Amino acid sequence: MARRLLRASAAPAPCGAIDWETPVLDEVWFCRPERLSLFGTPLWEEMDQQQRIELSRHEMASFMSAGIWTELCLIQLLAKYMASSRNFSDSRGHYALTEVADETRHCVMFGRAIRAIGCDTYAPSPVVQKLFALAGTLYSELSIFALALVIEEVNDRLQREIVRDERVQPLVREVCRLHVTEEARHVSFARTELLDTAARTSRPRLLLQRELTAVSAFVALAQRIHPDVYSAAGLDAVRARREARSNPHYRETLRWSGERLIGFLTQAGMIGPLQRHWWRRAGLLP
């Protein structure tokens, strides 16, 4: 698997392949409106078309900002995996390092895209950043590759929809197209490594890594919609956050985005009865 992925990665598509001069079009969505956090709410019905499009601009900027932060976290985890395994001379180690290079370019690509659509980045809170730093000392190969799938598979499904939707800004669609091409290889690698590692993990260690993965997934996925996007879009932030939290349309989007991930992690033994509470809070289970 690793050798095949290395061959497929021989000529990566750099973010320089994107035409960054592509204009941002008026009256064109920045993501699919049906996937926005306020779609179908009473507040949504009160918003005019320009307000809805502006919300899509800021939610996309938040989505990409969360992508940068989570991929930076993944880079650190992959570096830890390499340092602990000392797997420097075989194909598995070489592909892990290739993925680090891919993720670095993705961070640059998302950063340039955020600037191109006219937004600032939305950073996670200092508390969240400190929590990751503390939890990082506890992650093993098992949780590293499980979290890689959390970071990649949920976003991948949303981006594949965007690529096919001609209502969305051409620049955003091109960024998503390049991203999903490389993420497909990352998902294959993480799934293979996770299954291999799970087969060699003792039950007590598996239980600990299950819990750590579930809590970390909840924290990571909560960063996708930054609370400041609503005020940035000119909305009543308190009301918007309240309606978004209880919005059945958005809850269904979260469950849909995580269907394949949850199925695979359950099959791999990474979700047990005690962890379902955290996966529900993350929105990936009903």
* DSSP of the chain: -HHHHHHHTSS---GGGS-TTPPPPTT-BSS-GGGSTTTTSHHHHHS-HHHHHHHHHHHHHHHHHHHHHHHHHHHHHHHHHHHHHT--SSHHHHHHHHHHHHHHHHHHHHHHHHHHTT----PPPHHHHHHHHHHTTT--HHHHHHHHHHHHHHHHHHHHHHHH-TTB-HHHHHHHHHHHHHHHHHHHHHHHHHHHHHHT--HHHHHHHHHHHHHHHHHHHTTSS-TTHHHHTTS-HHHHHHHHHT-HHHHHHHHHHTHHHHHHHHHTT---GGGHHHHHHTTS--
pLDDT of 4 reads 82
Mean per-residue pLDDT, 210-219? 93
pLDDT of 16 reads 57
pTM of the complete model = 0.91
Q: Which residues pair with 168 in a beta bridge?
A: 29
pLDDT of 15 reads 56
Assess contact for 246 and 79: CB atoms under 8 A: no
CA distance 187 to 146: 10
pLDDT at 46 over 90: yes
Give residues with Cβ within 8 angstroms of 21, minimum separation 6. none
pLDDT at 6 over 90: no
The two structure tokens encoding residue 43: 């507040």
Residue 168 has phi, psi (to 5 degrees) of -95, 150
User: Across all residues in the chain, what is the average pLDDT?
Assistant: 91
The band of 137, judged by pLDDT with boundaries at 50, 70 and 90, is confident
Q: Which residues pair with 29 in a beta bridge?
A: 168
Closest CA to 148 of 108, 193, 106: 193
Q: For the CA atoms of the chain, what is the radius of gyration?
A: 19
pLDDT digits (tens, 9 = 90+) for 64-80: 999 999 999 999 989 88
Top pLDDT among 181 and 170 is at 170
pLDDT digits (tens, 9 = 90+) for 241-277: 999 999 999 999 999 999 999 999 999 999 989 899 9
Mean per-residue pLDDT, 172-194? 92
The two structure tokens encoding residue 23: 């204009």
pLDDT at 11 over 70: no
The band of 13, judged by pLDDT with boundaries at 50, 70 and 90, is low
Q: How far is CA 29 from the centre of its chain?
A: 20
Separation in Å, CA 114 to CA 56, 58, 205, 274: 12, 9, 40, 38
Q: pLDDT > 90: what percent of the chain?
A: 70
pLDDT at 103 over 80: yes
pLDDT at 202 over 60: yes
pLDDT of 108 reads 93
CA distance 101 to 111: 16
pLDDT at 14 over 60: no
pLDDT at 12 over 70: no
pLDDT digits (tens, 9 = 90+) for 231-251: 999 999 999 999 999 999 999
pLDDT of 259 reads 93
pLDDT of 219 reads 92
CA distance 270 to 206: 8
